[in-house]
Amino acid sequence: MRFCRMVLLFLVAAPAMAGGRERRLASLLPSHSEIVTALGARTALVAVSDSEHPGDFPGLPRAGALEPRWEVLMALRPDLVLADSAHERFAADFKRFHLPVLFLPATHAKSIEDIFELIRTLGDAIGRAPEASALLSNLKERLARLDARPRPSHRPRVYFEIWPRPLQSVGAASFQGQLLTRAGFDNIVPDTTNEMPLISSEWIVKSRPEVVFHTGVEGAEDLGSRPGWKDLPAVRRGRVIRVDADLFSRAGPRVVDALAYLMDEAARP
């Protein structure tokens, strides 16, 4: 309920088409840009997030990340700014500058279903509802096939490292944590309402994960050289695995790909 309420509360109404042309969009989050692209509206983007990779969206100005670049947005005057719920604190500024904005809680998505709802809402907002419906139909069919696959009888203990300094993982309250469980893993992170909790190295050593996923901030050799880690089952068996950070940080259409990847890894002997 909270997910849907946040989307609707902060939508500043504007027509799907502006003056007979497709709406000009500014995206403040890479996951929003991915959804816009998947809906066939990439050319509608006039600015993207500072967090995009340097080679992505060449020629488009960067409109900010955690904080909007107001000078860029004011100069471009997009028909709609696609923001995150984290940008709600700037709601008064968007209103003051007469910038239509849609706050979508991508960074607080807790499940695949939340992400599907985000795709549908964004598609409706930019006049791409039919494309969103077609995309969601395909994603749901793929998800159903994945959910029908048998899970391994043994659920491997897993540690998913988002950040190494300090150690930060994913909890059950995050969509990443939900993906681990859905794929057949046993997450060593204790139950918590924190989506990405800090965790101690001592806890990890005590929990003896059989698989360690990391985003490549530090290499597998660096992880294995931490005090007490060389005896972890994951290290001894060579199951310290670097993942595509974008795949597991962006609440977008590739979430089903992320689940398929994790299911393949959970099934490995």
Same domain, 115 and 166: no
Q: Percentage of residues in the chain with pLDDT exceeding 90?
A: 83
User: Is the model's pTM score more than 0.85?
Assistant: yes
C-alpha angle with apex 262: 256 to 268, nearest 5 degrees?
140
Residue 151 maps to a domain:
no
How many other C-beta atoms lie within 10 A of the C-beta of residue 107? 17
* Nearest CA-CA partner of 203 in 176, 179, 226, 173: 226
Same domain, 103 and 164: no
Residue 6: pLDDT band (50, 70, 90) is very low
Residue 149 maps to a domain:
no
Could you tell me the two tokens for 174?
A: 């995050």
Secondary structure (H, E, C), 6-57: HHHHCCCCCCCEECCEECCEEECCHHHHHHHHHCCCHHHEEEECCCCCCCCC
Same domain, 65 and 192: no
Alpha-carbon distances of 22 from 37, 80, 233, rounded to whole Å:
14, 11, 54
Same domain, 94 and 31: yes
The residue out of 120, 144, 168 marking a domain boundary is: 144
Residue 113 maps to a domain:
yes
Supply the pLDDT for residue 265: 96
Same domain, 193 and 117: no
Supply the pLDDT for residue 8: 40
Residue 152 maps to a domain:
no
Same domain, 19 and 53: yes
Same domain, 112 and 241: no
Residue 18: pLDDT band (50, 70, 90) is low
DSSP annotation of 184? T
* Nearest CA-CA partner of 41 in 114, 124, 107: 124
Does 3 score more than 90 pLDDT?
Answer: no
Residue 186 maps to a domain:
yes
* Residue 240 burial by Cβ neighbours in a 10 Å radius (0-12, 13-18, 19+): buried
Same domain, 193 and 222: yes
Same domain, 174 and 262: yes
Note down the domain range covering 210: 157-266
Supply the pLDDT for residue 9: 40
- Whole-angstrom Cα Rg for the chain: 20
Supply the pLDDT for residue 12: 46
* Nearest CA-CA partner of 139 in 169, 119, 167: 119
Supply the pLDDT for residue 269: 82
Same domain, 140 and 161: no
Whole-number average pLDDT of the chain: 91
Place of tokens 């969009």: 25
- Encode pLDDT of 193-245 as tens digits: 788 999 999 999 999 999 999 999 988 889 999 999 999 999 999 999 999 99
* Nearest CA-CA partner of 168 in 192, 195, 196: 196
* Nearest CA-CA partner of 57 in 77, 67, 43: 43
Supply the pLDDT for residue 183: 96
Q: Coil, helix or strand for 183? A: helix
Same domain, 168 and 126: no
Report how far apart the first and last C-alpha atoms of the chain are (Å, whole number).
Answer: 39
Look at the chain and report how many structural domains it folds into.
2
- Encode pLDDT of 79-125 as tens digits: 999 999 999 999 999 999 999 999 999 988 999 999 999 999 999 99
- Encode pLDDT of 154-186 as tens digits: 999 999 999 999 999 999 999 999 999 999 999
The residue out of 82, 114, 144 marking a domain boundary is: 144
Same domain, 10 and 85: yes
Supply the pLDDT for residue 1: 38
Distance, CA of 139 to CA of 142 (rounded, Å): 5
Could you tell me the two tokens for 219?
A: 């290499």
Supply the pLDDT for residue 152: 85
Residue 228 maps to a domain:
yes
Specify the CATH number for the domain of residue 238. 3.40.50.1980
Phi and psi torsions of 221, nearest 5°: -65, -40
* Nearest CA-CA partner of 24 in 76, 79, 91: 79
